[in-house]
Amino acid sequence: MDIATKLSLAISNFQKGQLLNAESLFDDILKADGDNIQALHLLAIIHAMKYDANGCIQLFDRALRIDPNNTSILKDYAKALIDLNLNENALNLLRSVIEKTPHDIEAKFNLSICLAKLSKFNDALHELDEILRVDPARFPALAVRSSLHMEKKEWLLALKDLDEAISLNKDFYDGYLNRAFIKKSMKNYEAALLDLDTSIALDPQSPVAYSHMGFLLHEMHENQRSLSFLNKATELDPNFLGGWLNKGVVLQALNCTEDALFSYDQALRIDPANNEALANKVSCLNLLGNPIGGLECAEKAIKSNPMSFNAWLNKGSSLKNLKQPILALEAYDKALEIQSNSALAIWNKSLIHLTIGNYELGLKEYEYRWKWDGADLYRHVDIPRLSSPAEIIDKKILCWFEQGYGDTIQFIRYIKKMKEIGAKEIILEIQPPLQDLLSCFGCRYIAHRDPLLEEVDFQIPLGSLPLLFDTRIETIPNQFPYITVSEDRINAWKESANLKNGKLNIGITCSGNLNFDKKNGNPRYLPLQNFELLMDVVNLNLIQTEVSADDQAYLNKHPEIKYLGNKINRSEEH
* pLDDT tens-place string over residues 262-297: 999 999 999 999 999 999 999 999 999 899 999 999
- Say which residue, 8 or 451, is predicted with more confidence: 8
> What does the pLDDT look like over 317-334, one tens digit per residue?
999 999 999 999 999 999
Q: In the predicted model, is pLDDT for residue 571 greater than 50?
A: no
* Average pLDDT of the residues in 90-117: 93
pLDDT band at residue 35, thresholds of 50, 70 and 90? very high
Q: What is the pLDDT at residue 524?
A: 64
Q: In the predicted model, is pLDDT for residue 518 greater than 60?
A: no
Question: How big is the CA angle at 294 (ends 293 and 298), to the nearest 5 degrees?
Answer: 120
pLDDT band at residue 574, thresholds of 50, 70 and 90? very low
Q: In the predicted model, is pLDDT for residue 390 greater than 50?
A: yes
Q: What is the pLDDT at residue 63?
A: 95
**pTM of the shown model:** 0.78
Question: Which stretch of 24-38, 206-220, 430-444 has the lowest confidence by average pLDDT?
Answer: 430-444
Percent of the chain with pLDDT over 70: 96
Q: In the predicted model, is pLDDT for residue 533 greater than 80?
A: yes
Q: What is the pLDDT at residue 454?
A: 75
Identify the three-state secondary structure at position 106.
helix
Cβ 398 vs Cβ 383: under 8 Å: yes
Question: Which stretch of 34-38, 51-55, 136-140, 523-527 has the lowest confidence by average pLDDT?
Answer: 523-527
- Say which residue, 423 or 441, is predicted with more confidence: 423
Q: In the predicted model, is pLDDT for residue 32 greater than 50?
A: yes
Q: In the predicted model, is pLDDT for residue 141 greater than 90?
A: yes
pLDDT band at residue 523, thresholds of 50, 70 and 90? low
pLDDT band at residue 545, thresholds of 50, 70 and 90? confident
* Average pLDDT of the residues in 366-372: 94
Percent of the chain with pLDDT over 90: 76
* Average pLDDT of the residues in 182-190: 94
- Say which residue, 449 or 350, is predicted with more confidence: 350
Rounded distance, CA 378 to CA 375, Å? 8
* Average pLDDT of the residues in 66-84: 93
Alpha helices, DSSP H, located in 237-369: 241-253, 257-270, 275-287, 291-304, 309-321, 325-338, 343-355, 359-366
Q: In the predicted model, is pLDDT for residue 305 greater than 90?
A: yes
What are the DSSP calls for 377-402, one per residue? Answer: PPP-TTSPBP--GGGGBT-EEEEE--
| DSSP code for 375 | P
Distances (CA, A) of 144 to 147, 148, 374: 5, 6, 36
Q: What is the pLDDT at residue 478?
A: 86
Identify the three-state secondary structure at position 87.
helix
Task: List beta partners, residue 429.
Answer: 400, 446
* Average pLDDT of the residues in 105-122: 94
Q: What is the pLDDT at residue 568?
A: 65
> What does the pLDDT look like over 194-225, one tens digit per residue?
999 999 999 999 999 999 999 999 999 999 99
Rounded distance, CA 313 to CA 452, Å? 40
Average pLDDT across the chain, whole number? 91
Radius of gyration of the chain, Cα coordinates, nearest whole angstrom? 34
Alpha helices, DSSP H, located in 84-154: 87-100, 105-117, 121-134, 139-151
> What does the pLDDT look like over 497-512, one tens digit per residue?
767 778 898 988 887 7
